[in-house]
């Protein structure tokens, strides 16, 4: 399990986490903003400053600071609270500030209350990664490239895009957690970028587009891997917990269409 407290930065590996309507507690809670222009410095399709992507963020769960987060800079220096703004301004050579998310969390696609791309939870399976290693063994298919919240261990036998079989169903935890699996995850350039010791792999996105394009209605046919999930019921999840599959009761194409219709309605609502 991972969370990424500051969008575009490296995240933290977790042993346990509370999952609520906003996803994993503290996930994508802040974003780096240019203090002069208001521009958000986290672009998943174009270039994001590699110095920002080399920083790591960690939530300080026991802190009562207004900014309860620690940032580790590329040189290893650790900073906390409001000293982070000055340090990142120096690193990126422009005035920046960390901006928290301030919209209500509804637990839905497009309504996470945080700086997610789309959904409160992003998951991927071990069998899908095994499949990708088999079809393109020259690439490093490290799970970290995909920045998921949850890596689901469904074995080492390769299965082509196993998450598709969950779309329209749900994952149930003993704690009461219920994750409604809503959409395959469309991929951008992020998995191709270098991070930590992983090299840049431009062919990863091309492979996904060639192997697994999914019709996402108004968003076109996208190369997908993994799945987005909505939070139907909150709960605490720990590494090693079993999630029981509540199987889909309709074809994935129907579930996808219903999710996209609901998203379109939300985005066209009076507050948007």
Q: 78-130 pLDDT, tens per residue?
A: 999 889 999 999 999 999 999 999 999 999 999 999 999 999 999 999 999 99
> Cβ–Cβ contacts within 10 Å for residue 6, how many?
26
- In the chain, the percentage of residues whose pLDDT exceeds 90 is 87
Q: Show me where the domains of the chain are located.
A: 30-100, 121-267
Q: Could you give the maximum distance between any two Cα atoms of the chain, in Å?
A: 53
Q: How far apart are the first and last CA of the chain?
A: 32
Q: Is the confidence at residue 138, as pLDDT, over 80?
A: yes
Q: 267 falls in which pLDDT band (50, 70, 90)?
A: confident
Please say if the pLDDT value at position 179 is more than 60.
yes
Q: Regarding the domain delimited by 121-267, which CATH topology (the fold level of the hierarchy) does it fall under?
A: M1 Pyruvate Kinase; Domain 3 (2.40.33)
Nearest to 109 by CA among 180, 52, 205: 180
In angstroms, rounded to a whole number, what is the distance separating the alpha carbons of residues 113 and 57? 19
Mean pLDDT of 136-164: 96
pLDDT band at 49 (very low <50, low <70, confident <90, very high): confident
Query: What pLDDT, in 10s, does the model give residues 9-34?
Result: 999 999 999 999 999 999 999 999 99
Q: Is residue 47 over pLDDT 80?
A: no
**φ, ψ at 178 (rounded to 5°):** -135, 115
Of 39-43, 100-104, 195-199, 235-239, least confident by mean pLDDT is 39-43
As a whole number of angstroms, the distance between CA 30 and CA 9 comes to: 10
Report the alpha-carbon distance of residue 164 to residue 186 in Å, rounded: 12
Whole-angstrom Cα distance, residue 183 to residue 131? Answer: 20
- The pLDDT value recorded for residue 139 is 96
Q: Is the pLDDT of residue 44 over 80?
A: no
Burial class (CB in 10 A: 0-12, 13-18, 19+), 196: exposed
85 contact partners, CB below 8 Å, separation of at least 6: 96, 97, 98
Residue 165 predicted with pLDDT over 90: yes
Residue pair 158/131 in contact (Cβ under 8 Å)? The answer is yes
Residue bearing the bigger pLDDT, 65 or 46: 65
Structure tokens, 165: 């079989």
At 182, is the secondary structure helix, strand, or coil? strand
């Amino acid at each position: 399990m991972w969370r990424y407290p500051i969008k575009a930065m490296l995240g933290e590996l977790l042993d346990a986490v509370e999952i609520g309507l906003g996803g994993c507690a503290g996930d994508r809670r802040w974003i780096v903003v240019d203090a002069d222009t208001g521009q958000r410095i986290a672009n998943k399709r174009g270039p994001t400053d590699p110095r920002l992507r080399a920083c790591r963020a960690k939530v300080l769960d026991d802190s009562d600071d207004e900014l309860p987060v620690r940032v580790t800079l590329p040189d290893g220096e650790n900073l906390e609270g409001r000293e982070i703004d000055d340090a990142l301004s120096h690193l990126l050579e422009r005035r920046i500030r960390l901006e928290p998310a301030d919209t209500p969390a509804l637990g839905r696609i497009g309504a996470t209350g945080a700086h997610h791309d789309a959904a409160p939870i992003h998951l991927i399976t071990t069998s899908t990664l095994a499949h990708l290693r088999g079809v393109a063994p020259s690439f490093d298919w490290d799970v970290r490239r995909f920045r998921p919240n949850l890596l689901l261990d469904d074995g080492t036998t390769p299965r082509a895009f196993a998450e598709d079989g969950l779309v329209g169903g749900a994952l149930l935890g003993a704690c009461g957690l219920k994750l409604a699996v809503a959409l395959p995850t469309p991929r951008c350039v992020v998995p191709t970028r270098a991070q930590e010791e992983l090299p840049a792999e431009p062919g990863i996105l091309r492979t996904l587009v060639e192997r697994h394009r999914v019709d996402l209605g108004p968003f076109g046919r996208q190369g997908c891997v993994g799945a987005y999930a909505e939070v139907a019921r909150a709960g605490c999840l720990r590494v090693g917990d079993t999630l029981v599959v509540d199987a889909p009761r309709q074809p994935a194409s129907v579930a996808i269409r219903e999710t996209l219709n609901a998203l379109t309605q939300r985005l066209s609502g009076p507050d948007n």
